[in-house]
Chains A and B, each alone.
Chain A
Amino acid sequence: MAILLNHVNYIYDEDTAMANAALIDVSLKIPDGQFIGIIGHTGSGKSTLIQHMNGLIAPSSGQIFFNNEDICDRDYNKKNLRARVGLVFQYPEHQLFETDCFKDVCFGPKNLGLSQKDAELRAYTALKQVGLEDEYFYQSPFDLSGGQKRRVAIAGVLAMNPEVLILDEPTAGLDPKGREEILGLISELHRKTGITIILVSHSMEDVADYVERIIVMNRGRVTFDGEPKEVFSHYKELEEMGLAAPQVTYCMQELREAGFDVDTSVTTLLEAKNEILKAFMKC
C-alpha cells in the first residue's frame, strides 16, 4: 500500500476566529501502481489533500502512512518522503530557474546527495521520459514553448525517481494538442514504469479518458470514489457540486431518453461511437 489516509482532518487557521475546515474525515487507500484522478470544484480541498500526501501539510488530526510508516512521526525522514512522492504543482514551469534545461533537472537529484555523474544520469533519463529532444537540453528553459517548459518541469520531479507522482492540473493553459501530449506522456509513464499516478484535473473528458479510479472532493470530504463509469453515473450530483460528466455521457443519456437502446454509463468517445453504431445495426 503506497499511501493510506486514516480519518484525516485539516483546519486552516485553527484556534482563530478564521478557522476553516479544508479536509473533513478523509480516509483513503492508494495502492501501488494505480492511475487516479481527483476532481472537485475550486476550494473543494483537492490541493490541501495532495499536499498532505507528501508531508507539506501535517493533518490537524488523523494519520497518514506511506509504505506502512506514519509520516507525521517526529523521526520520519520527510526529505526522503518528498523524493518518493513527487508533487508537480500547477504551472510548474514558473519554478524553472537554471540557465539550461539539463542543469534545472539535475537540481533535485543533486540535492538528494547524489554525485554529479549519477544526478546527470537521472536527469538524462527523466528528460528522455518526457520526450524532450536532445537539441533543447542545453538551451535556456525560458526559450522553450509552454508545453516544452512544462515537460522540463515534470522531468525535474521525475529525476527524483518517485514511487508516486502527483500532478496538480498539468494541462492548465495548454492548447488542445499540448494537453493531449502531456496526458499521453503521463499515461505512457504509468504503463512503462508502473508508478502510482495521481492527477488533479478540471477536465472531466481528460479524466475519463485516462484514469482507472476517480476521487471526487466536495467541501473537504471525499464524496465519490470509484471507477469513472460508476462516478460519472452520479452526474446530477456532480453538477450540484459545480462539476459535470464528460459530454459523451450526456449524449448517451439524451439518446436513451429519446428511446435509443444505448448504454448510458459510457465515458469516452470511442465507447460512445461504438454504442451508437451498435444501435444502428440491430433489428
Chain B
Amino acid sequence: MSKMIQTDKLVFEYIRRDEEGNVEGITRAVDEVDLSVEPGQFIAILGHNGSGKSTLAKHFNALLYPTEGEVHVDGMLTEDEEHLWDIRQEAGMIFQNPDNQIIGQVVEEDVGFGPENMGVPTEEIWERVDESLRAVRMDKYRKASPNHLSGGQKQRVSIAGVIAMHPKCIIMDEPTAMLDPNGRREVIRAARGLNQVEGITIILITHYMEEVVDADKVFVMDRGRVVMEGTPRGIFKRVDELKALRLGVPQVTLLAHELRQAGLPIPDPILTRKELIDALKKLRAEGYML
C-alpha cells in the first residue's frame, strides 16, 4: 500500500524582490524535508510563525510545487499534471479563516459545491451532503445561512465541504486559531471523529499544544526543517527544547514538569489532567512526603 503523503528531499525556495522587481535574495522556506504519513494516521505539525509549516502543507495537495525534490500523494507525483484533480480530490485543505472558504448562500449548497464540480450525479450529491453534515454534526443547520453560524460551526461546514469530495486525507492549517474555546473543541472533536470512524488521514497544523496530545505522530519544524519527530509523549518530554523553538507544552504538562523540578517524582511527561491526578493519587497512596 502506498503512503498517504511522502516527501523526498523537498526544498521550496521563493525569490524576494524589491519594489522595482529586482531580485533581492532567495529564501528557503522548506529545506530538504523527508517525511511520510501512513494512511489513517492523525498527524500534527508544530512550529513557530515562519517556520515553514504552511508552505510545507501546501505541497500536500499540489497548491505549491517543490523547487527541488518530490512529493507523492497516495503514490501520485504532485508535479504530474494529469493527477492534479485526483490529488486535490484525495487531499482536501482547511484554512484558518472560515469566512474565506465558504461561498454558498445556504449551508447545503456550500457543502454540495465540491462534488458538483467533480461531476457527481445530482442524487448522489444530496446523499453526500447529508452524510458529510452528519459527520460534523451540522445536519440541523443544512438550510441555514452560513452568515448566522458561529466560527466553530462555519469551520465544521468547511470541513463537511471537504468530506463531501470523499477525500482520503484532510490537511488543516490552524483551523482553530480564530475560534473560542467551544469552537476549538467542536472542530478538534470533528477531526478526531473523521479519523477514527471514517479512517480519514488528518494532518493538523496548530499553535495549540493541547490539540496535539492524541495525535499518532508529531513533527516539529524550525527554519524549514523537521527538527523533531515522534509521539506526543516523546516530544512533550523535551520541554526546554520546545521552548527554545518558541513553542510550549500543554499547561498540565508544564505544571507536572515544574512539580517534578520541585522534587515530586511524577512520571515524565504528563499529557492529560487524568494522568496528573492519577500520578498524584499514587504518590499519596505510597505515603510520599516532601
The answer to the question of B188 belonging to the interface, with a C-beta cut-off of 8 Å to chain A, is no
The answer to the question of B246 belonging to the interface, with a C-beta cut-off of 8 Å to chain A, is yes
Give the distance to chain B from A256, nearest Cβ to Cβ, in Å.
10
Q: Say whether A281 contacts B180, CB under 8 Å.
A: no
Q: Say whether A269 contacts B180, CB under 8 Å.
A: no
> Which residues, 21 to 65 on A, are CB-close (under 8 Å) to B?
40-43
Q: Say whether A277 contacts B284, CB under 8 Å.
A: no
Query: Which chain A residue shows the least CB distance to B262?
Result: A277
Q: Say whether B207 contacts A175, CB under 8 Å.
A: yes
Residues of B within 8 Å of A42, CB to CB, are 150-152, 179-180, 183
Cα(A137)–Cα(B245), bound, Å = 25
> Which residues, 178 to 231 on B, are CB-close (under 8 Å) to A?
178-183, 207, 209-210
The answer to the question of A210 belonging to the interface, with a C-beta cut-off of 8 Å to chain B, is no
Which of A108-116, A127-135, A185-193, A246-254 is the contact stretch?
A: A246-254
Query: Which chain A residue shows the least CB distance to B247?
Result: A176
CB within 8 Å for A175 and B247 given contacts A145-B50, A202-B181, A260-B284? yes
Query: Which chain A residue shows the least CB distance to B182?
Result: A242
Residues of A within 8 Å of B77, CB to CB, are none
Residues of B within 8 Å of A146, CB to CB, are 49-50
Cα(A216)–Cα(B142), bound, Å = 31
The answer to the question of B76 belonging to the interface, with a C-beta cut-off of 8 Å to chain A, is no
CB within 8 Å for A269 and B182 given contacts A42-B151, A251-B276, A277-B264? no
Cα(A205)–Cα(B142), bound, Å = 35
Which of B3-11, B115-123, B248-256 is the contact stretch?
A: B248-256
The answer to the question of A258 belonging to the interface, with a C-beta cut-off of 8 Å to chain B, is yes
Query: Which chain A residue shows the least CB distance to B242?
Result: A176
Residues of B within 8 Å of A260, CB to CB, are 280, 284
> Which residues, 269 to 284 on B, are CB-close (under 8 Å) to A?
273, 276-277, 280-281, 283-284
Q: Say whether A283 contacts B50, CB under 8 Å.
A: no
Cα(A146)–Cα(B47), bound, Å = 13
Contact of A41 among B174, B182, B277 (CB under 8 A): B182
Cα(A172)–Cα(B96), bound, Å = 11
Q: Say whether A251 contacts B290, CB under 8 Å.
A: no
Q: Say whether B254 contacts A175, CB under 8 Å.
A: no
> Which residues, 94 to 149 on A, are CB-close (under 8 Å) to B?
145-147
Query: Which chain A residue shows the least CB distance to B274?
Result: A254
Task: Give A229-251 as 1s and 0s: 1 = Cβ < 8 Å from B's Cβ atoms.
Answer: 00000000000001110111011
CB within 8 Å for A243 and B182 given contacts A176-B247, A251-B273, A277-B262? yes
Give the distance to chain A from B21, nearest Cβ to Cβ, in Å.
15
Chain B interface size band reads: 35 or more
Contact of B181 among A204, A250, A280 (CB under 8 A): A204
Cα(A177)–Cα(B281), bound, Å = 33
Query: Which chain B residue shows the least CB distance to A274?
Result: B262
CB within 8 Å for A273 and B246 given contacts A41-B180, A42-B152, A176-B209? no
Cα(A258)–Cα(B174), bound, Å = 36
Cα(A276)–Cα(B247), bound, Å = 26
The answer to the question of B259 belonging to the interface, with a C-beta cut-off of 8 Å to chain A, is yes
The answer to the question of A162 belonging to the interface, with a C-beta cut-off of 8 Å to chain B, is no
Instruction: Tally chain A residues at the interface, Cβ within 8 Å.
Output: 38
CB within 8 Å for A175 and B246 given contacts A251-B277, A280-B289? yes
Task: Give A266-283 as 1s and 0s: 1 = Cβ < 8 Å from B's Cβ atoms.
Answer: 000100110011001101
Residues of B within 8 Å of A258, CB to CB, are 277, 280-281
Residues of B within 8 Å of A246, CB to CB, are 251
Q: Say whether A242 contacts B262, CB under 8 Å.
A: no
Q: Say whether B246 contacts A177, CB under 8 Å.
A: yes
CB within 8 Å for A172 and B178 given contacts A178-B49, A255-B277, A273-B255? yes
Give the distance to chain B from A84, nearest Cβ to Cβ, in Å.
29
Query: Which chain A residue shows the least CB distance to B183?
Result: A42
Contact of A247 among B48, B180, B251 (CB under 8 A): B251
CB within 8 Å for A178 and B48 given contacts A42-B180, A172-B177, A277-B259? yes
> Which residues, 137 to 168 on A, are CB-close (under 8 Å) to B?
145-147
Residues of B within 8 Å of A281, CB to CB, are 289-290
Q: Say whether A247 contacts B150, CB under 8 Å.
A: no
Query: Which chain B residue shows the least CB distance to A201?
Result: B180
The answer to the question of B131 belonging to the interface, with a C-beta cut-off of 8 Å to chain A, is no
- For the complex of A and B, the 9 pairs showing the least CB-CB separation, nearest first, are A242-B182, A177-B246, A176-B248, A175-B48, A146-B49, A247-B251, A42-B151, A41-B180, A244-B181
Q: List 27 A-B contacts (CB under 8 A).
A: A42-B151, A145-B50, A172-B178, A173-B177, A173-B178, A173-B207, A176-B247, A177-B243, A177-B248, A178-B48, A243-B181, A244-B181, A244-B182, A246-B251, A247-B252, A247-B273, A248-B252, A251-B276, A254-B273, A258-B281, A269-B258, A273-B259, A277-B259, A277-B262, A281-B289, A281-B290, A283-B289
Residues of chain A whose beta carbon lies under 8 Å from any beta carbon of chain B: 40-43, 145-147, 172-179, 202, 204-205, 242-244, 246-248, 250-251, 254-255, 258, 260, 269, 272-273, 276-277, 280-281, 283
Beyond A176-B209, A277-B290, 20 additional pairs, beta carbon < 8 A: A41-B181, A145-B50, A172-B177, A173-B177, A175-B47, A176-B247, A204-B181, A242-B181, A242-B183, A243-B181, A244-B182, A247-B251, A247-B252, A247-B273, A251-B276, A251-B277, A254-B273, A258-B281, A272-B255, A280-B284
